């Protein structure tokens, strides 16, 4: 039985997603524990340069074709199922993203392999595969021991550091032709780009994130002033976006963006599970909330229990007064 670990590379137009490196780092640990190799599998088009960034892997399998340039469930699942079926890795890691969850479910059905979704941790314990997943919207964690020779695990973005997968190396590269085409029921139409002119909060190093506690759109000014003093950007929880006070591109959480800034300052955010899922990976989390029992304090490195309308102006003034 193969003890190899496979990682399904997530990318957009050949640009690798951070979650790919997170999975590579986790995959290296699993491969070491299993005594197998780490194999990165990339499906798409224009991926010739990808192996240079996938140095954490022992081998890279490329399946390239113009028909695979844009994600479509049936064609990508068919290509991946052929590769995975031929190599039969012990564990296959797939990102728990919109595309990844679609792929994981289809692959599990096609290969008849068990699937563990929404995983925050996956490890081998005495040869047994154990995965820890979020359930009930992240309110509980469930630990599952997966039986069988093969398994697919969808990994939550931000559950592991990306730097662990960004290592130099020269993996062996193998090209795989795509499987024969078949009539598709789902076809790619067009890619809808993010709103023009807005920032990409996933690339920001400092985020000041605002929640329902801000009370009104007019009060956003004090948040924007603090973000400017910190050299950062304003983001938000879902209620703020639902109100139309900030665009969807600023939303942090399961239904928004997953962010990993160096500093995440949460103001007036209680800490719903769907929001916490999108910002757990921040290097430093600071929370300001008037409720000492707010769930956000459970993940914050530092917390301030107080009225944000007192705390934020005082902090901004202090920052501006500091040379």
Give the model's pLDDT for residue 208. Answer: 98
Q: Is the pLDDT of residue 323 over 80?
A: no
Comparing 36-45, 118-127, 183-192, 226-235, which segment has the lowest mean pLDDT? 183-192
| 244-255 burial code (b ≥16 CB/10 A, e <16) | ebbebbbbbbbe
Confidence of residue 165 (pLDDT cuts 50, 70, 90): very high
* 118 vs 268: CA distance, rounded Å: 27
Helix (H, G, I), strand (E, B) or coil at 48: coil
Q: In angstroms, how far is CA 307 from the centroid of its own chain? A: 32
Q: Is 60 exposed, middle or buried (0-12, 13-18, 19+ CB in 10 A)?
A: buried
Share of the chain above pLDDT 90, in %: 67
> CA 269, CA 120: separation in Å to the nearest integer?
23
Which of 147-151, 186-190, 216-220 has the lowest average pLDDT?
Answer: 186-190
Q: What's the pLDDT score for residue 204? A: 92
Q: What is the mean pLDDT of the chain?
A: 91
pTM for the model stands at 0.77
> In the prediction, which pLDDT does 31 show?
96
Give CATH 3.40.50.1220 domain extents, the chain: 201-321
Q: What pLDDT is stored for residue 137 in this prediction?
A: 64
Tokens representing 129 are: 């595969």
- Token digits for 174? 């193998």
User: What band does 20 get if pLDDT is binned at 50, 70 and 90?
Assistant: very high
Q: In this predicted model, what pLDDT tens digit does every residue of 261-304 receive, in sequence order?
A: 999 999 999 998 889 888 988 999 999 999 999 999 989 999 99
In the chain, CATH 3.40.50.620 covers 5-175
Contact 90, 146 (CB under 8 A): no
pLDDT of the residue at 317:
95
pLDDT at 67: 87
What's the Cα-to-Cα distance from 53 to each of 25, 167, 276, rounded to whole Å? Answer: 13, 8, 29
60-115 pLDDT, tens digit each: 999 999 889 888 889 999 999 999 999 999 999 999 988 999 999 999 999 999 99
Question: Among candidates 264, 239, 235, which has minimal Cα distance to 250?
Answer: 235
| Contacts of 276 by beta carbon, 8 Å cutoff, 6+ apart | 138, 253, 295, 296, 299
Instruction: Let me know: does 169 contact 55? Beta carbons within 8 Å.
Output: yes
Which CATH number among 4.10.520.10, 3.40.50.620, 2.60.40.10, 3.40.449.10 corresponds to the domain 5-175?
3.40.50.620
Note the pLDDT of residue 292: 94
**Residue 194: its pLDDT value, please?**
62
Asked: is 201-321 a CATH 3.40.50.620 domain? The reply is no
pLDDT-derived band at 47, boundaries 50, 70, 90: confident
CB 39 within 8 A of CB 58: yes
Query: With 80 as the cut, is the pLDDT of residue 140 above it?
Result: no
Provide CB contacts within 8 A for 321, sequence distance 6+.
none
Residues contacting residue 169 through CB under 8 Å, at least 6 positions apart: 54, 55, 56, 57
């Amino acid at each position: 039985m193969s003890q190899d670990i496979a990682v399904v590379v997530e990318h957009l137009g050949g640009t690798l997603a951070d979650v790919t490196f997170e999975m590579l780092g986790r995959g290296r640990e699993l491969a070491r524990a299993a005594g197998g190799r780490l194999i990165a599998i990339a499906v798409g088009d224009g991926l010739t340069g990808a192996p240079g960034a996938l140095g954490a892997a022992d081998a890279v399998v490329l399946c390239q074709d113009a028909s695979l340039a844009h994600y479509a469930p049936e064609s990508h699942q068919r290509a991946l199922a052929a590769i995975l079926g031929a190599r039969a890795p012990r564990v296959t890691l797939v990102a728990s993203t919109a595309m990844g969850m679609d792929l994981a479910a289809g692959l599990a059905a096609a290969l008849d392999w068990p699937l563990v979704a929404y995983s925050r941790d996956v490890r081998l314990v005495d040869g047994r595969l154990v995965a820890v997943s979020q359930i009930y919207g992240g309110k509980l964690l469930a630990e599952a021991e997966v039986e069988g020779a093969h398994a697919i695990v969808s990994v939550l973005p931000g559950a592991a550091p990306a730097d662990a997968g960004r290592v130099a190396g020269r993996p062996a590269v193998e090209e795989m032709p795509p499987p024969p085409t078949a009539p598709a029921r789902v076809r790619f139409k067009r890619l809808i780009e993010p709103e023009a002119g807005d920032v990409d909060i996933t690339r920001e190093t400092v985020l000041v994130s605002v929640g329902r506690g801000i009370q009104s759109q007019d009060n956003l000014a004090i948040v924007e002033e603090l973000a400017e003093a910190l050299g950062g950007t304003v983001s938000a929880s879902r209620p703020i976006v639902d109100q139309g006070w900030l665009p969807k591109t600023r939303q942090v959480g399961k239904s928004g963006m997953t962010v990993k800034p160096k500093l995440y300052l949460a103001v007036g955010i209680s800490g719903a599970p769907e929001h916490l899922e999108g910002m757990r990976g921040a290097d430093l989390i600071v929370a300001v909330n008037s409720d000492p029992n707010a769930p956000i304090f459970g993940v914050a490195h530092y917390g301030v229990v107080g009225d944000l309308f007192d705390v934020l102006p005082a902090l901004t003034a202090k920052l501006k007064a500091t040379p």
